[in-house]
Amino acid sequence: IVEFMAEAIGQEKLDVTKLLAMIRRSGLLEADQLSAALDSINVDQSTADDLLQWLVDKECITPWHSKQLLKGRYKGFLLGKYRLVGKLGRGGMATVYLAQHRVLGSHAAIKVLSRERIDKSSMRERFLREARAAAQITHPNIVRVFDVDADGDRHYLVMEYVQGWSLQDLVDTEGVLSYRKAADFIRQAAQGLAHAHAGGLVHRDIKPANLLVEDGKTVKISDFGLA
């Protein structure tokens, strides 16, 4: 309740001047980009909501950025070579974001380990060791791990971004799958697991939420980074 009230108060007090200051501090836009954007809108006649909506419409920021800024949150959008553009999910050990490479423009899924977990040296060493092992696995039914890195005290994995739903979401939305489709998805998951086992890795958390379906037909096992 206290957090909700603090956010509500912050939103009431947010005006265009404060919003612009947060945007500059966030690093979301270069100075010349922000200046060019502001040249196209009458800032004096706009509210903070108006300005944010305009920036979203022009694809300068994402709707997720807008929501965070309205809550007074402007830190943490940049992570190494990447710009976080949305939140994909959250678990007990980490939060997963959709990210865009700041130079190449390509998308990736980035898993940021919680600070509480990484504060333990044993967990940090395990995280690095297992991330390196996961990065060696290449299989069409396993989400690729491309990199492991740290930005200050934020340790993260850079993974393949799979455009699709998890099996859990698919069943929750569409109901029970046909026998043929369910059997095919199980077959693909088993092939991915067999390849990982051959390389000495055990997943330990296979469940529908960790099986992603790309284009409605290809299963990719996720969460191997902490296997």
| Helix, strand, coil in percent for the chain, rounding step 5 | 45, 20, 30
SS3 167: helix
- Judged by DSSP in three states, 157 sits in strand
The one catalytic residue among 50, 119, 205, 223: 205
Q: What are phi and psi of 73, to 5 degrees?
A: -100, 120
Terminal CA-to-CA distance of the chain, rounded, Å?
A: 36
φ/ψ of 99, rounded to 5, equals -130, 155
Residue type at position 204: R
Question: Is 147:205 a contact under the CB 8 Å cutoff?
Answer: no
Active site residue 44: no
Residue-by-residue DSSP string for 36-58: HHHTTS-GGG--HHHHHHHHHHT
**Catalytic positions:** 205
